[in-house]
A = this chain, B = another copy of it.
C-alpha cells in the first residue's frame, strides 16, 4: 500500500483504504477538484444521526466558504463550530468492462474534514460572498446588484479550513481480469460532462438588456 507518488497522507483517517493507489494527498489536486465542482455535499451530525446536504461552496486559498440562512440546521451547527465533512465529486465517465464486477465510474472526489467557524469580520464576509457567487458563475458578482444591508445581515457566512483532506481519482481506463481480454465483449468508456444549454432570459427582462459576459463565457466553456 504505497502512496509515495501522491504525497504523504495527512492523517490516518484521511487515507484512502480501498484502491490506495487512487489516493492523493497534495493540496493542488484537492483544490482543483473543489474549484471545478459546482456543489459539494456537507456531512454533519444532528442528535447522533448523520445528515448530508448539498450546498454551494467557494475556495479562497486554504479556506472553504459557505453561506446560508440561519434557519438551516447545517448553518446553525456550523456557526457554533461543529465538525463537518465536505465532499465534492466530479463524474468523468462510465467505465464498461468485460466483466460486470469491473464496471466502474471515472471520477474525482475531494474530502475535507474539520470544524466550521463563523466569519464575522465584514471584510472576510464580503470577499467570501463574492467568491461564492463567482464560484458558480465567474464574473457575476460585478454585474449584479450588490447585497443590501438587510440581505447581508440575514445571511451567515462560515468557513472550514482545508487542513485535513484527501482526494481519490479514477480515470476512464478499463481494467479487466487477465483472462477476460479474450472474451468477445465490448469494453470501453463513455465520457461524461456537464453541458450548458441555451440561456433562458427571465420573462420580465427590460428591453435591450443583453446577455452578460459571465453567462456568455460560462456557456462557451461548457459547450462540447
Which of these binds chain B: A24-32, A58-66, A117-125, A197-205? A197-205
In this assembly, does A10 line the interface, its C-beta being within 8 Å of a C-beta of chain B? no
Residue of B nearest to A204 (CB): B181
* A91: min CB distance to chain B, Å: 6
B194 touches A194 (CB 8 A): yes
Give which listed residue, B46, B111, B195, contacts A13 with CB less than 8 A: B46
CB under 8 Å from chain B, chain A span 87-130:
87, 89, 91, 94, 96-101, 103, 105, 107, 109, 111, 113, 129
In this assembly, does A219 line the interface, its C-beta being within 8 Å of a C-beta of chain B? yes
Q: What are the 7 A-B residue pairs with the smallest beta carbon separation, nearest first?
A: A191-B197, A43-B52, A43-B50, A41-B41, A43-B43, A52-B87, A54-B89
Give which listed residue, B39, B174, B204, contacts A89 with CB less than 8 A: B39
Count chain A residues whose beta carbon lies closer than 8 angstroms to a beta carbon of B.
99
CB under 8 Å from chain B, chain A span 43-88:
43-54, 56, 68-69, 71-73, 83-87
- In the bound complex, what is the Cα–Cα distance between A212 and B100 (angstroms)? 14
* A189: min CB distance to chain B, Å: 5
B188 touches A205 (CB 8 A): yes
In this assembly, does A38 line the interface, its C-beta being within 8 Å of a C-beta of chain B? yes
- With contacts A17-B73, A209-B186 taken as known, whether A144 is within 8 angstroms of B46 at the C-beta atoms is no
6 additional contacts (CB under 8 A) given A96-B214, A101-B147, A192-B194? A18-B72, A41-B41, A41-B87, A52-B111, A103-B144, A191-B200
